[in-house]
Amino acid sequence: MAAPPKQCIYCGATERITSEHVWGEWIKQFVPPLANKHHDSIMTIPRPFAPEPPTLRLRAGNPANAQVERLCWDCNTTWGSQIQERAKHHLVPLFAGDAAHLDANAQAAIAAWITMATMTGEYMVRPSDGPSIPQAHRNYLRLSNSVPNNWRIWIGHCDEWIVDGFHNQWALASFLFWNTESPMDGAASDDDPPNTQTTAFKIGSLYVFVLSSALPGVAPEWRWWSAPRARVLLQQVWPITNFTVKWPAGYMTNDDAETFSTAFVNYADHLRRLQGFG
């Protein structure tokens, strides 16, 4: 039996599916390759109180070359290209580690670019139980060129993020929550896909952390309880809370990069264990 045709993850088209660079091919002009191998990691937590060990995968090649063959030509060359172009000149100094002042328009452009990279990159390191970002969120980005509701995005300055001797490039954790009133309580059935995710990635000196959920009570309540240094070293660019963000707020260490990438995982697991699970 022939495999079903690949569909565009944004519009559902099955024709003219192209390979899209996760961060955009243009970044190779501004981000020199760190190494010829790098890590990405996946942690799927269908029961947030029973985390699995991360799946660390060593990938060959320059991370900037990472591609996903799940976008159609129309999405790639129209609104997707527009998001890249709007964000490009704001991102270049962040990649280089140069000081920058980001007004509301710059924050919105950067946040949309990060959202597209997160959504596309989920299919690069996607867990076996399916994507955790709902199609409604992908539709929202495609139609509005803006970040969906129930997303929060932070950025920081990080020169090094190394795991087991190799540069870490991408860390994805996916969760399944079911209780809208109190998302940290309970879990859904085994057949339900994850509905919440965190993604951390680093490009040049720019470190990004994203928390999104299909449930309205998850992202707005997150306060970095398990990684308080993030409150000082990371700056929120979505939702926009400051008219101007002065970047960087400080300089992250390698330990900060790893701690921040797993902070939400550790916090959710801690709460569940206090409630008698796990």
Place of tokens 């109190």: 182
Q: Among 13-27, 114-128, 195-209, which range has the highest average pLDDT? A: 195-209
Higher pLDDT, 160 or 167: 160
Burial (0-12, 13-18, 19+ Cβ within 10 Å), 209 = buried
Mean pLDDT of 217-226: 91
Higher pLDDT, 208 or 4: 208
> In total, how many domains does the chain have?
1
Cα separation values, 93 from 131, 190, 201, 206, Å: 32, 44, 17, 9
User: Is a pLDDT exceeding 90 seen at residue 183?
Assistant: no
- Which H or E run includes 252? strand 251-252
Question: What's phi and psi for 256, nearest 5 deg?
Answer: -60, -45
Mean pLDDT of 180-189: 50
Residue 1 lies in a domain: no
User: Is a pLDDT exceeding 60 seen at residue 227?
Assistant: yes
Listed in sequence order, the DSSP H helices in 33-78 are 73-77
Q: Which of 23-32, 81-90, 106-115 has the lowest mean pLDDT?
A: 23-32
- Alpha-carbon distance 95 to 181, whole Å? 39
Q: Which of 24-28, 126-130, 173-177 has the lowest mean pLDDT?
A: 126-130
- Alpha-carbon distance 20 to 124, whole Å? 11
pLDDT range class, residue 192, cuts 50, 70, 90: confident
Residue 10 lies in a domain: no
Burial (0-12, 13-18, 19+ Cβ within 10 Å), 135 = exposed
Provide the pLDDT for residue 29.
Answer: 80
pTM as predicted: 0.86
Provide the pLDDT for residue 278.
Answer: 43
Provide the pLDDT for residue 60.
Answer: 46
DSSP for residue 254: H
Residue 9 lies in a domain: no
**Please, are residues 63 and 169 in contact by the beta-carbon 8 Å criterion?**
yes
- Alpha-carbon distance 59 to 176, whole Å? 27
Q: Which residues contact 81 (CB under 8 A, 6 or more apart)?
A: none
pLDDT range class, residue 48, cuts 50, 70, 90: very low
Residue 72 lies in a domain: yes
Q: Which of 39-53, 61-75, 127-141 has the lowest mean pLDDT?
A: 39-53
Instruction: Print burial letters for 77-106: b (CB count within 10 Å at least 16), e (below 16).
Output: eebbeebbebbbebbbbbbebeebebeeeb
In degrees, rounded to 5, the angle at the alpha carbon of residue 171 between the alpha carbons of residues 96 and 129 is: 145
Residue 11 lies in a domain: no
Question: What's phi and psi for 237, nearest 5 deg?
Answer: -110, -10
Listed in sequence order, the DSSP H helices in the chain are 73-77, 79-96, 104-121, 135-144, 230-233, 254-274
Could you tell me the sign of the dihedral formed by the alpha carbons of 108, 214, 228, 204, in that order?
Answer: negative
Residue 65 lies in a domain: yes
pLDDT range class, residue 277, cuts 50, 70, 90: very low
Residue 5 lies in a domain: no
Give the structural domain span for 136. Answer: 17-79+89-274
Q: Which of 114-118, 186-190, 232-236, 246-250 has the lowest mean pLDDT?
A: 186-190
Share of residues in the chain with pLDDT > 90 (%) = 51
- Alpha-carbon distance 4 to 11, whole Å? 16
β-pair partners for 238: 153
Residue 4 lies in a domain: no
**Please, are residues 156 and 100 in contact by the beta-carbon 8 Å criterion?**
no
Average pLDDT value over all residues in the chain: 81
Higher pLDDT, 171 or 54: 171
Place of tokens 């190779």: 28
